[in-house]
Structure formats: C-alpha cells, structure tokens
Amino acid sequence: MNAGLLLLRLLLAGLLFGHAAQKLLGRFGGGGPDGTAPVFESWGFRPGRPMVLLAGTCELTGAVLFASGAATPLAASVVLGTMIVAAAPNWPNGPWAHLGGYEVPLVYGVLALVLAMTGPGSWSVDHAVGADGMSGVLWALAASAVAGAAAAPALLLRRRSLRAPDPTATGTPEAHA
C-alpha cells in the first residue's frame, strides 16, 4: 500500500509541477505568465498575470507537498481549491477534456481528496514527523471546506468580471489608452 500511495503522490505531483512550470516558466509548451495571462483574462480571471502567478504557485506548492508527503491535508486543500477554480471556465462544456471539459481538474482534485482521506503512507514526511493521524474522512471534509472557501473569492471575481462590459469591445476611448 505504501508503494501505491507513493506512486499516486508522485504522479499527481509531477502533473501539478508540469502545469506550474507551464504557467510560471513557459516550460512544456506553456506561455509563462505573460503568455498565459490573456487566456486567464478571456476566462474572466482579471487581472490575468497575477491570477496566473497565483494558480502556478498553488500548483507548485501542491506538487512539492504531495511529492514529499508533507502537510497532506494542506496540500489537498491547495490543490482542490485550485482545481475548483480551474474547472469553472470549462464547466459548461461538460466533463470530457476532448470537448473542452473539466475532466483534468476534476481528476486532480479527486486525487488530492483521496490522499487527504488515505494519508500519504509510511514513505512520507508526515509519517516521519508523526502526523499520520491527519487523514480520514474528517480531514478530507476539512480540506474540502478550506478549498471551497479559498476558491470562492476567485470565482466571485470571475463572475463579476464576466458580467462587466469589456471596454476593448466597445471602442471607447478607455480601450485605446
């Protein structure tokens, strides 16, 4: 079981690291902060660059914590909150990624919750420091609550941003300033 949990942690950490590197460094075909910012803005996450930096930093934090098996409930909260926000623009498309859906953030978020429920296993920092008891359904529920609370401001700002008129679309003088 410990080998399986380690494999699961490292898989999730590697994928999160790749997404973080795309946003923060422009690696793995990513646009870096400046190249990704317009995409975030088109999704309603404005201003784009700070939101990209926040998302990338959260993914990197989750990757480091899961890879080491440290502070697993915190890692789950960070990743799940980030994935809730990441799923929002794709929600109308349904679950399937090939149709532009939210499949990837759903899978990453559920994997984070699974690790909050099971714990990281014996081959982890949590085990080494005696924090093995920080897992189970209650910890997963707590991680979910923190993730939801952390995701709410970004989702509310996105909603407000999408409802506001875009000055660049109206041709107003402010659009050309």
Contact 30, 36 (CB under 8 A): yes
Helices and strands of the chain, counted as H and E runs: 8, 0
**How many other β-carbons are positioned within 10 Å of the β-carbon of residue 34?**
11
CA distances from 164 to 49, 157, 168 (A): 19, 11, 12
Tell me how far apart the terminal alpha carbons of the chain are, to the nearest angstrom: 60
Closest C-alpha among 12, 18, 4, 126 to residue 73: 126
- How far apart CA 79 and CA 63 sit, in angstroms, is 9
* DSSP structural state of residue 29: T
Closest C-alpha among 102, 132, 138, 13 to residue 66: 13
CA distances from 9 to 23, 107, 120, 152 (A): 21, 13, 7, 26
* Predicted local distance difference test score (pLDDT) of residue 170: 54
Amino acid at position 75, single letter? A
Render each residue's pLDDT in the chain as its tens digit; 177 residues.
899 999 999 999 999 999 999 999 999 999 999 999 999 999 999 999 999 999 999 999 999 999 999 999 999 999 999 999 999 999 999 999 999 999 999 999 999 999 999 999 999 999 999 998 888 899 999 999 999 999 999 999 999 999 987 655 554 444 434
Contact 132, 119 (CB under 8 A): yes
**Domain segments of the chain: what residues?**
2-164
* Integer-rounded Cα radius of gyration of the chain: 18
